[in-house]
């Protein structure tokens, strides 16, 4: 069979379907029985199917499966030197461009490698067609009522989505409150995060919090810091970005002082603790920029103050990300946010604008300006260390990401702040701002839900945008149609 080109996402469907014309065998003739195909890996790196069970000969192996277009891709894609692939128990590819029946992991383990082509029906076009139809059927944004919800009036849909958007906002406020209480409690116990794994005891859950418990400015700064860092990580780096903000916390960053070198100290700390800063001792001098050397020297001068967790470069995702979304750029933007939090009185400025500006449109723009971060310094023309970018980076945090941060983080935190300190009129203003907010960002899930509900333009208003996310995640994707106001009318 000649070499066949097929997108990997369709190869995954062939693996899931397991419709082969004969039993799979290794190159040396051992029978392969797929006991469990595993769970498809939705991350941007690592093996394609996790936790599979494959019987080869008389032994059942438990681990991961990697699917490639060609057998040689194992080496071409660098899997043989990537520790993430050390758990692979079977390497399968569509095309046989190698005479070898094995590949090797970075720790030297031998893994069977097979070509799927001999086990597929001769009419590959039909196999591809089935794979395409299967992939479409399993798309994440499928809604059960997509064919019939036109029977529900637009007003009914809008009312339901509006209520869900308001619920989502209140849920975010409650989530922020729980984290705030946790920060108060941890500060009293002098616990460090995230290296210490802990369970909050009954004293935490039974405690009644007073207004005075939330007077400490540092806990509000920490709440904003870690929440924004999580948002800057997007889906692929959000957990480690949040963990980084917990490790290199506000208390530690505050200890670095507030002199003119503050931003370089914060960058040195964040890049070193994250594990992303190269070791200049192992780099040729001509390949190392003055900036990288400066970070290295700065970290050496301040690292004695740090006694928490450190991370590794391999824990960060760069693969298939747009360069503007690289964690290096997001950390650079986050460092400038920290500067605004600690040196620029960011929280106080946001409160002052809400107190002073009555026009909601002007207030929205004023708050946006506090969180938009323009590109500057070394990272204005670099995506990674010591490799210049072809295009300048105008913004570390642009308008779309700022809107996401405002809607999902800042407005809920400000609403919570005004509620705790009994400033009812200011809280009403924040909620009104949320209700009237039109965000610049787009979301594939929201676009799909809006299209399916025939509400194509209303998503631009944040309360509907958030309501559509709530609808899909808590009803559609969980098949809770009979608990949804739309589904109740359609399916009962």
Domain residue ranges of the chain, discontinuous segments joined by +: 8-137, 216-441
Q: Which of 409, 474, 395, 418 is nearest to 439 (CA)?
A: 409
CB-based contacts of 490: which residues, under 8 Å, 6+ apart? 145, 148, 149, 151, 152, 481
Give dist(CA 165, CA 234) in Å, integer: 21
> Tens-digit pLDDT profile for the chain (492 aa)?
455 566 677 788 889 888 888 899 999 999 999 999 999 887 767 899 999 999 999 999 999 999 998 898 898 888 988 889 999 999 999 888 877 899 999 999 999 999 988 888 656 656 655 665 555 555 556 677 877 888 899 999 999 999 999 999 999 999 999 999 999 988 887 766 665 556 677 777 788 899 999 999 999 999 999 999 999 998 889 999 999 999 999 999 999 988 889 999 999 999 999 999 998 877 666 667 899 999 999 999 999 999 888 999 999 999 878 898 999 999 999 999 999 999 999 999 999 999 999 999 999 999 999 999 999 999 999 999 988 888 999 999 999 999 999 999 999 999 999 999 999 999 999 999 999 999 877 788 898 899 889 997 888 899 999 999 999 999 988 888 889 999 888 877
- Write out the H or E segment, with its range, that includes residue 232: helix 217-232
Model pLDDT, residue 272: 97
Q: Which of 276, 316, 277 is nearest to 295 (CA)?
A: 277
Chain centroid to Cα 21, Å, comes to 40
CB-based contacts of 319: which residues, under 8 Å, 6+ apart? 44, 45
Q: Cis ω on the peptide bond leading into residue 343 (within 30° of 0)?
A: no
Answer whether 486's CB lies under 8 Å from 160's CB: yes
Vertex 353: Cα angle to 350 and 354 (nearest 5): 90
Partner residues linked to 111 by β-bridges: 103
Answer whether 368's CB lies under 8 Å from 403's CB: yes
Model pLDDT, residue 44: 64
Answer whether 46's CB lies under 8 Å from 77's CB: no
DSSP annotation of 205 reads: H
CA within 13 Å, CB half, 419: 14
DSSP annotation of 476 reads: I
Chain centroid to Cα 398, Å, comes to 17
- Write out the H or E segment, with its range, that includes residue 137: helix 124-137
Model pLDDT, residue 1: 45
Cα-Cα end-to-end distance for the chain: 52
Give dist(CA 251, CA 193) in Å, integer: 12
């Amino acid at each position: 069979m000649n070499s066949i080109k097929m997108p990997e996402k369709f190869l995954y469907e062939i693996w899931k379907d397991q419709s082969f014309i004969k039993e799979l065998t290794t190159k040396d003739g051992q029978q392969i029985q797929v006991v469990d195909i595993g769970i498809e890996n939705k991350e941007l790196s690592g093996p394609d199917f996790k936790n599979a069970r494959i019987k080869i000969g008389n032994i059942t192996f438990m681990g991961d499966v990697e699917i490639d277009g060609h057998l040689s891709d194992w080496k071409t894609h660098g899997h043989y030197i990537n520790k993430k692939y050390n758990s692979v128990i079977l390497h399968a590819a569509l095309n046989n461009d190698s005479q070898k029946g094995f590949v090797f992991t970075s720790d030297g383990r031998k893994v069977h490698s097979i070509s799927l082509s001999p086990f597929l029906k001769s009419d590959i076009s039909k196999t591809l067609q089935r794979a395409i139809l299967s992939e479409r059927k399993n798309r994440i944004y499928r809604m059960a009522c997509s064919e019939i919800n036109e029977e529900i009036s637009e007003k009914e849909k809008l009312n339901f989505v509006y209520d869900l958007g308001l619920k989502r906002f209140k849920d975010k406020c409650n989530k922020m409150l729980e984290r705030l209480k946790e920060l108060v409690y941890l500060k009293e116990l002098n616990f460090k995060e995230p290296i210490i794994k802990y369970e909050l005891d009954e004293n935490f859950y039974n405690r009644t919090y007073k207004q005075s418990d939330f007077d400490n400015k540092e806990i509000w700064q920490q709440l904003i810091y870690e929440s924004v860092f999580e948002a800057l990580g997007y889906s692929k780096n959000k957990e480690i970005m949040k963990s980084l903000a917990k490790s290199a916390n506000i208390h530690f960053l505050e200890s670095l002082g507030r002199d003119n070198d503050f931003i370089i100290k914060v960058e040195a700390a964040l890049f070193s603790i994250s594990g992303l800063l190269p070791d200049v001792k192992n780099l040729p001098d001509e390949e190392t920029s003055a900036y990288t050397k400066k970070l290295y020297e700065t970290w050496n001068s301040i690292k004695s103050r740090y006694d928490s967790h450190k991370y590794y470069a391999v824990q960060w995702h760069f693969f298939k990300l747009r360069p503007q979304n690289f964690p290096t750029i997001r950390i650079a933007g986050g460092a400038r946010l920290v500067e605004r939090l600690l040196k620029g009185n960011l929280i106080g400025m946001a409160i002052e604008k809400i107190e002073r500006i009555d026009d909601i449109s002007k207030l929205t723009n004023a708050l946006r300006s506090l969180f938009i971060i323009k590109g500057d310094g070394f990272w204005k023309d670099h995506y990674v260390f010591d490799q210049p970018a072809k295009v300048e980076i105008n913004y570390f945090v642009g308008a779309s990401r700022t809107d996401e941060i405002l809607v999902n983080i800042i407005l809920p935190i400000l609403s919570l702040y005004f509620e705790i300190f009994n400033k009812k009129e200011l809280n009403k203003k924040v909620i009104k701002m949320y209700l009237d907010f039109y965000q610049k960002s787009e979301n594939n899930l929201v676009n799909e839900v809006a299209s399916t509900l025939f509400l194509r333009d209303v998503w631009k208003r944040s309360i509907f945008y958030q309501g559509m996310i709530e609808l899909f995640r808590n009803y559609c994707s969980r098949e809770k149609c009979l608990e949804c106001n739309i589904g109740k009318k359609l399916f009962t």
